[in-house]
Amino acid sequence: MNVFDPEVLGRCMSCGFCLPACPTYALTGDEASSPRGRITLMRGIEDGTVSLFDPAVQEQASMCLGCRACEPVCPAGVSYGLLLEQWRDTAWRGRDTPWLVRPLLALTRHDLVLRVLGRLRRHARPGPRRHPGPHLLLGCVERVLFPGVSRAARAVDPDLQPGRGPGCCGALHAHNGRLGEGEAMARALGDRLPGTIVTTSGGCAAHLAGVLGRDRVAELSEWIVRRGLLPPARTGQARPRVAIQDSCHLRNGLGVSATIRTAVGAVAEIVELPSARDCCGAAGTYSLLRPRESARIIAPKVREIADAGVDLVVTVNPGCQRQLRTAVRRAGLEVEVVHLAELMAGQR
Amino acid sequence: MTGRTAGAVDEQVIDRLRDAVGARWVRTDAATRRAYARDATPLFDAEPDVVVQPGTTAEVAAVVRIAAAHGVPVVARGAGTNLCAATVATHGGIVLSATRMDRLLEVSEAEQLAVVQPGVTTTALATAAAAAGLLYPPDPGSRAVSTIGGNVATCAGGLRGLKYGVTRNYVLGTEAVLGTGEIIRTGGRLVKDVAGYDLTRLLVGSEGTLAVLTEITVALVPAPPTAGYGVAYFDSLADAGRAVAAVVGAGLVPATLEFLDATCIEAVESHAGLGLDRGAGALLLFGDDGAPAQVDAALATMVTACRDAGARAVTTAPDVATAEDLLAARRCTLPALSRLGSLTVLEDVSVPRPRLAEAVARIGDIARGTGVRVGVFGHAGDGNLHPTAVADGQDPAQVAAVHRTFEQIFQLALDLGGTITGEHGVGAAKLAWLPRRLDPAQLALMRRLKAAFDPAGILNPGKLGS
């Protein structure tokens, strides 16, 4: 078959250095659910030794979180995230698309409902048409679930113009078997919002950077540090104890993690969780598609949060925020889960 | 080297395996068989018929008994990071994965030892030892991934071989399942114990052909309080070789003596931009650990030795951060080389230390002759070098040239009084070369030994002792 970029697939030398970084390998201890094992499967799909549509092969395309934790540890620099997108782009065609994903993709594609819901939920008001930027991306998930995040981002930097029109950058589509559509949506967004696009979602940042170029995109913490928007150090006040949850695509895809700590460290005392950099199990649509694995992946993190004795957990991606908030509540912890924007705007 | 057709194992055998370890730990689906067709060895690929993940020694023994009764091959596998196709199921059968047996059973400070199950990673053991103020010295390049079971089965080496030795120097005892399904315990926790043949030593490096390891007791040493590093550049590896000879001649056994040849320096610099001297013919990374005064004295001796040997430049790291920068050059050599082509073949030969520079020079001649790009790096202190070929894996002519290159390199190592593998192992990859290294009487003895441990010939057939 001709599913994968042969240059990217050819890069893997099967050394196995990715195994200890992989959350699903940690769950199963099974080569087939490791990045190297999945790449062996991809090679098998290409040379015909396994079928793309074999249920056991499909299971591995589905079980992968797509967190890309295997990429920074890869000695050969394999772009695993791209290979996974290409895999699902073929494997999740037509009736093979997971049924839970379909309404989500449809909803974010036709954004009228999204706009109405978002407005009802009172996210930040979009700015004027044809503004030169910098623009604030009103992400599709945030509009509906966390409308306060865009208002908080505007409070941190009033110069940010909330972008008009559809908010979805297409990351959701690219990660769920609609690679071409996801890229087209990102390009359309880039045309509509010229200049720098600032996003409060790690997943959107990595997808947009991949399509539009790294220089067009800034994640909020990068923006705050770059523009010198850090609040002056507060003295004499009790600083909250804060744990950070990295965004996988932000950290593993774009290498952004230090600016988050610079920003949080300006207003709070950082308590690093041992698993701060590890996937929380939200992983886009993963927590909906595979709730059992998702719950197993977040369980040790909730124990760490309980042990750390923190006041807040700060996230930089709406999916992580939802996942952690749900898990922390379910565990009965008195810990608030907030977005970086909300912390920086002094709303927490 | 290509995939076998599955189905050689009867459904009845599969059922018995399911009864023995539980159905969810016995898998025969296409995805599982394909994923376990490979380890880290390029160009080797063979699907097992079934993958079994036992959870206890008793389950391992049950699986081996079933396999012996039906003549089904059993290939024990840790993380599959070996580079000699030791865990590729060339004869099909069962791949027996150790990943569920990953408990660290004990770290004893009083006895300076640890007891682990085979699936524990090398790094997990080293970390647990460090928490007790102890050191597990073997540090193979894949330590974050590799398992102790795999390390013992291949007698893994690492960067500290000269001063600390390799895996065999740290294995005190094992529990293992023979090819008959019998469970034996060899050695134990004692420093001195000569009751019987040293079967522990025999199992180390046996590559899963004599027994399946189910528990391992390793010796630990006090963790050295400090370490220091330096780097020297030379016009040629011959100059670096003279420096190494002077270091050893001065009575020093340093913890680190690693070299990179000009091809590696160029590749690392293009990839990582660490500010290495691109004009140099060789880079020598040196270092030692121990008490602070001892480390300082060792570094001073090594700096002098390098300067006397005509080094272009010598620097030592004043702090940990700088030392990490120096070590980065060595650590990213393989990544840097691998970016030069789709096929990376990392090989492993050893020569007597005084012949190291000559070996590297002649490897250069061989590579020029075959037209293959080969970088050489390795352990200057113990004569173990890693010629690494990079080529286009899609081009059969280039792949054939890589094979020809290594055939000449293996012969060169033997001609220099060296060996065909220092620390990677024989596996399926180098079995054909073994008769060039060992005489017929020894090979015959190995076959008889294997027959004694594994009368049915089911343990990793087609490898050592077959």
Same domain, A106 and A209: yes
Confidence band, pLDDT 50/70/90 cuts, at residue A104: confident
Residue A182 inside a domain? The answer is yes
| Interface probe with B: pick from A27, A31, A46, most Cβ of B within 10 Å | A31
CATH at A256:
3.40.50
Residues of CATH 3.30.43.10 domain(s) within chain B?
Answer: 11-97
Pick the CATH number of B226-334 from 3.40.50.10540, 3.30.70.790, 3.90.76.10, 3.30.70.3450: 3.30.70.3450
Q: Mean pLDDT across chain B, nearest whole number? A: 95
The chain B residues in contact with chain A (CB within 8 A) are 3, 29-32, 34-42, 47, 51, 53, 79-81, 97, 99-100, 102, 119, 121, 123, 142, 144-145, 332, 334-335, 338-339, 342, 344, 393-394
Query: Stretch B257-272: mean pLDDT, rounded?
Result: 93
Residues A89 and A111 in one domain: no
In chain B, the percentage of residues whose pLDDT exceeds 70 is 98
Domain for residue A190, yes or no?
Answer: yes
Is residue A233 in some structural domain? no
Coil, helix or strand at residue A336: strand
Residues of chain B with CATH 3.30.70.3450: 226-334
Contact A250, A219 (CB under 8 A): yes
pLDDT at A205 over 90: yes
Q: Note the pLDDT tens digit of each residue in A15-52.
A: 999 999 999 999 999 999 999 999 999 999 999 999 99
Q: Looking at the predicted structure, is the pLDDT value of residue B2 above 50?
A: no
Q: How many CB pairs under 8 A join A and B?
A: 99
Cross-chain Cβ contact A30/B102 below 8 Å: no
A3 touches chain B (CB under 8 A): no
Contacts of A46 in chain B (CB under 8 A): none
Candidate from A6, A20, A44 with C-beta closest to B34: A44
Residues 6+ apart with CB under 8 A from A254: A202, A205, A206, A209, A214, A219
CA distance B447 to chain A (A): 31
Do A251 and A294 lie in one domain? The reply is yes
Is the pLDDT confidence value at B311 over 60? yes
**B85 in Cβ contact with B95 (< 8 Å):** no
Is the confidence at residue B432, as pLDDT, over 90?
yes
Residues A259, A212 share a domain: no
Q: What is the mean pLDDT of chain A?
A: 90
The answer to whether the CB atoms of B99 and A56 lie below 8 A apart is: no
Which of A7, A12, A14 best tests the B interface by mutation, with the highest count of B CBs <10 A? A14
Note the pLDDT tens digit of each residue in B131-158.
999 999 999 989 999 999 999 999 999 8
Residue A232 located in a structural domain: no
Q: How far is A35 from chain B (nearest CA, A)?
A: 10
- The verdict on A259 and A217 lying in the same domain is no
pLDDT confidence bin for B3, thresholds 50/70/90:
very low
Domain termination residue (choose one: A48, A65, A94): A94
Residue A233 pLDDT > 90: no
CATH 2.40.420.20 fits B11-97, yes or no: no
ipTM above 0.85, yes or no: yes
State the DSSP code for A250: I
User: Are residues A294 and A334 part of one domain?
Assistant: yes
User: Is A214 inside a domain boundary?
Assistant: yes
- CATH match of B104-222 with 3.30.465.10: yes
Asked if A30 lies within 8 A of B99 by C-beta distance, the reply is yes
Question: Both tokens of residue B88?
Answer: 């590729």
pLDDT tens digits, residue range B367-407? 999 999 999 999 999 999 999 999 998 899 999 999 999 99
State whether A61 and A77 are in the same domain. Answer: yes
Within this chain, do residues A295 and A194 fall inside the same structural domain, yes or no?
Answer: no
Pairwise CB contact (< 8 Å): B35 & A31: yes
Is residue A19 assigned to a domain? yes
| A189-228 burial code (b ≥16 CB/10 A, e <16) | bbeebeebbbbbbbbbbbbbbbbbeeebbbbbbbbbbeee
Average pLDDT of span B232-241: 95
Q: Could you tell me if A121 and A221 lie in one domain?
A: yes
pLDDT at A235: 65
Same domain, A32 and A127: no
Taking an 8 Å cut-off on Cβ atoms, the answer to whether A75 and B394 are in contact is no
Nearest residue, CB atoms, B34 vs list A11, A29, A50? A50
Residue A95 has pLDDT above 80, yes or no: no
Contact at 8 Å (CB) between B443 and B426? no
pLDDT grade for B1, boundaries at 50, 70 and 90:
very low
pLDDT 10s digits, B38-62: 999 999 999 999 999 999 999 999 9
- Residue A65 banded pLDDT, cuts 50, 70, 90: very high
Domain total in chain A: 3
Contact B139, B126 (CB under 8 A): yes
Domain with CATH 3.30.465.10 in chain B: 104-222
Whether B422 has a pLDDT exceeding 60, the answer reads: yes
* A189-208 average pLDDT score: 93
Q: Which range of residues forms the domain containing residue A35?
A: 6-94
Minimum distance, in Å, between the CA of residue A254 and any CA atom of chain B: 18
In a domain, A193, yes or no: yes
HEC string for chain B: CCCCCCCCCCHHHHHHHHHHHCHHHEECCHHHHHHCCCCCCCCCCCCCCEEECCCCHHHHHHHHHHHHHHCCCEEEECCCCCCCCCCCCCCCCEEEECCCCCCEEEEECCCCEEEECCCCEHHHHHHHHHHCCEECCCCCCCCCCCEHHHHHHHCCCCCCHHHHCCHHHCEEEEEEEECCCCEEEEECCCCCCCCCCCHHHHHCCCCCCCEEEEEEEEECEECCCEEEEEEEEECCHHHHHHHHHHHHHCCCCCCEEEEEEHHHHHHHHHHHCCCCCCCCCEEEEEEEEECHHHHHHHHHHHHHHHHHCCCCEEEECCCHHHHHHHHHHHHCHHHHHHCCCCEEEECCEECCHHHHHHHHHHHHHHHHHHCCEEEEEEECCCCEEEEEEEECCCCHHHHHHHHHHHHHHHHHHHHCCCECCCCCCCCCCCHHHHHHHCCHHHHHHHHHHHHHHCCCCCECCCCCCC
Q: Which pLDDT value is given to residue A167?
A: 72
The pLDDT tens digits of the residues spanning A161-192 come to: 988 776 789 998 999 889 999 999 999 999 98
Would A236 be classed as within a structural domain? no
- Domain-ending residue, one of A197, A226, A255: A226
Among A49, A77, A94, residue at a domain's last position: A94
Query: Do A165 and A214 lie in a common domain?
Result: yes
Say whether both A281 and A330 belong to one domain.
yes
pLDDT at B328 over 90: no
Residue A347: the pLDDT is 64
